[in-house]
């Protein structure tokens, strides 16, 4: 069943793994899945698809347990905190990484106001707007700058100016005062049901499955389908495969081709349909099309993994162009491409 409510006292091992991997991001999780056995991929994949938010307390607990397990293993001579920092910084964008560290602490310890990083800006304002401007300035100084900016926008113009000036002049603050204020705010949070981090587990799992091999993809989806066929269908609907590019209008399709390396394109076409090949040939110049056909004829056998990797790289290029507002990628019979 989707929309699982997560609590720290009832988490199973696979659920903890799902929470950890959702937090670490798609690139890290894809690499991790490639080294995991099929049975565990199925379990973890199902839990990932069912999660749409993670309470900050749950995230904090899972991260701390992860660090404790690494630091407590006498056979692994590494710093858990350093390991996590390296992995987070390599897999997450800077702002998301900062938010993760706000929750787990730079050294695995509690950071003041960490729960606020994942609250909606509206809820956060409702908690702090009655506080003294100096208190609000202190709280905002601990938040990721984008979150602090969102909160500042929601305050009155007069209050914005006052708080901004106080942030500039904040200087040194006694940590006892900070920690006491943190306790007070935590109590306020508990009154409104706590803070959460929103996740679209379905979309995240779909993106991850886009990047794994075909057998793993179908195995995970089949397992989810046995438990909840509607959930599996939602994941499938979110997935984007190479042949879906057939639906992209030619003028947008040409933008994709202009950003794809020729050798990558040759590999990607090795197992593609005749329809896809024709679409590509028709969107290239006559000379480029002939050269591509010649290169394909002389290309010898290549590993299926190389073909799948090339197709995934082209999909990533298409998604990047979509994120830049140059094309639109969507799925379903009623989708309109512009």
Q: pLDDT exceeding 70 applies to what percent of the chain? A: 76
**At 293, is the pLDDT very low, low, confident or very high (cuts 50, 70, 90)?**
very high
Range of the domain at 170: 114-196
Which one of 239, 262, 295 terminates a domain?
239
Both 261 and 317 in one domain: the answer is yes
Quote the pTM value. 0.40
**At 256, is the pLDDT very low, low, confident or very high (cuts 50, 70, 90)?**
very high
Cα–Cα separations (whole angstroms), residue 103 to 106, 111, 144, 146: 9, 7, 11, 16
Both 300 and 325 in one domain: the answer is yes
User: Quick one: which of 8, 134, 120 has its CA closest to 60?
Assistant: 8
pLDDT of residue 332: 41
**At 155, is the pLDDT very low, low, confident or very high (cuts 50, 70, 90)?**
confident
**At 85, is the pLDDT very low, low, confident or very high (cuts 50, 70, 90)?**
low
Which one of 239, 257, 292 terminates a domain?
239
Q: What does residue 53 show for φ and ψ, rounded to 5 degrees?
A: -160, 150
User: Quick one: which of 306, 310, 265, 270 has its CA closest to 288?
Assistant: 265
Q: 309: which residues sit within 8 A by CB, 6+ positions away? A: 267
- Better-predicted residue by pLDDT, 102 or 64: 64
> Residue 333 pLDDT > 90, yes or no?
no
Q: What does residue 107 show for φ and ψ, rounded to 5 degrees?
A: -120, 25
Both 99 and 41 in one domain: the answer is yes
Both 68 and 82 in one domain: the answer is yes
Both 103 and 207 in one domain: the answer is yes
Question: What DSSP string runs through 135-192?
Answer: HHHHHHHHS-HHHHHHHHHHS-HHHHHHHHHHHHT-----HHHHHHHHHHHHHHHHHT
> Residue 79 pLDDT > 50, yes or no?
no
CATH of the domain at 145: 1.10.220.30
Q: 148: which residues sit within 8 A by CB, 6+ positions away? A: 140, 141
Q: What does residue 54 show for φ and ψ, rounded to 5 degrees?
A: -125, 115
Helix (H) or strand (E) holding 44: helix 38-50
Give the DSSP letter of residue 10.
G
Both 30 and 58 in one domain: the answer is yes
Both 94 and 207 in one domain: the answer is yes
* Dihedral angle of Cα 57, 137, 125, 146, to the nearest 10 degrees: -70
> Residue 131 pLDDT > 80, yes or no?
yes
Give the DSSP letter of residue 78.
S
Q: Tokens 């979110």 identify what position?
A: 238
Helix (H) or strand (E) holding 327: none
pLDDT of residue 124: 82
Both 95 and 189 in one domain: the answer is no
Question: What DSSP string runs through 274-309?
Answer: HHHHHHHHHTS-HHHHHHHHHHHHH-----HHHHHH
**At 289, is the pLDDT very low, low, confident or very high (cuts 50, 70, 90)?**
very high
Both 122 and 188 in one domain: the answer is yes
Which one of 172, 196, 220 terminates a domain?
196
User: Quick one: which of 64, 56, 153, 165 has its CA closest to 113?
Assistant: 56
Give the DSSP letter of residue 332.
S
pLDDT of residue 74: 42
Cα–Cα separations (whole angstroms), residue 162 to 48, 120, 133, 147, 166: 43, 23, 7, 18, 6
Both 304 and 178 in one domain: the answer is no
**At 181, is the pLDDT very low, low, confident or very high (cuts 50, 70, 90)?**
confident
> What's the rounded Cα separation, in Å, for the pair 35 and 148?
39
Mean pLDDT confidence for 170-174 = 74
SS3 338: coil
Cα–Cα separations (whole angstroms), residue 228 to 33, 96, 191, 219, 225: 22, 31, 34, 14, 5
Both 79 and 143 in one domain: the answer is no
Dmax (CA) for the chain in angstroms is 74
126 alpha carbon, distance to own chain's centre: 28
Instruction: Give the number of domains in the chain.
Output: 3
Both 223 and 336 in one domain: the answer is no
Mean pLDDT confidence for 175-187 = 79
Kindly report the average pLDDT of the chain as a whole number. 76
């Amino acid at each position: 069943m989707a929309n699982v409510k997560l609590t720290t006292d009832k988490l199973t091992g696979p659920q903890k793994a799902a929470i950890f991997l959702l937090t670490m991001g798609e690139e890290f999780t894809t690499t991790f899945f490639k080294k995991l056995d099929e049975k565990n991929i199925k379990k973890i994949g199902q839990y990932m698809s069912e999660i749409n938010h993670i309470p900050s307390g749950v995230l904090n607990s899972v991260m701390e347990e992860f660090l404790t397990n690494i630091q407590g293993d006498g056979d692994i001579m590494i710093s858990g905190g350093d390991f996590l920092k390296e992995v987070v910084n390599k897999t997450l964008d800077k702002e998301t990484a900062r938010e993760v560290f706000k929750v787990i602490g730079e050294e695995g310890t509690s950071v003041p106001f960490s729960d606020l990083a994942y609250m909606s800006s509206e809820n956060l304002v409702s908690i702090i707007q009655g506080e003294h401007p100096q208190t609000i300035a202190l709280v905002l100084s601990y938040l990721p700058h984008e979150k602090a900016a969102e909160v500042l926008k929601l305050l009155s113009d007069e209050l914005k100016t006052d708080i901004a000036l106080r942030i500039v002049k904040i200087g040194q603050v006694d940590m006892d005062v900070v920690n006491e204020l943190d306790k007070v705010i935590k109590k306020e949070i508990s009154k409104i049901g706590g803070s959460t981090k929103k996740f679209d587990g379905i979309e995240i799992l779909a993106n991850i499955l886009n990047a794994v091999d075909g057998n793993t993809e179908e195995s995970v989806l089949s397992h989810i389908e046995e438990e909840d066929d509607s959930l599996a269908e939602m994941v499938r609907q979110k997935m984007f495969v190479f042949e879906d590019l057939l639906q992209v209008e030619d003028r947008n399709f040409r933008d994709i081709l202009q950003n794809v390396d020729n050798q990558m394109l040759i590999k990607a076409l090795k197992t593609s349909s005749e329809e896809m090949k024709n679409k590509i040939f028709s969107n290239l110049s006559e000379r480029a099309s002939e050269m591509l056909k010649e290169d394909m004829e002389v290309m010898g056998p290549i590993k299926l993994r190389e073909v799948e990797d090339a197709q995934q790289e082209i999909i990533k290029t298409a998604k990047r162009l979509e994120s830049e507002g140059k094309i639109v990628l969507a799925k379903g019979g009623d989708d309109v491409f512009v």
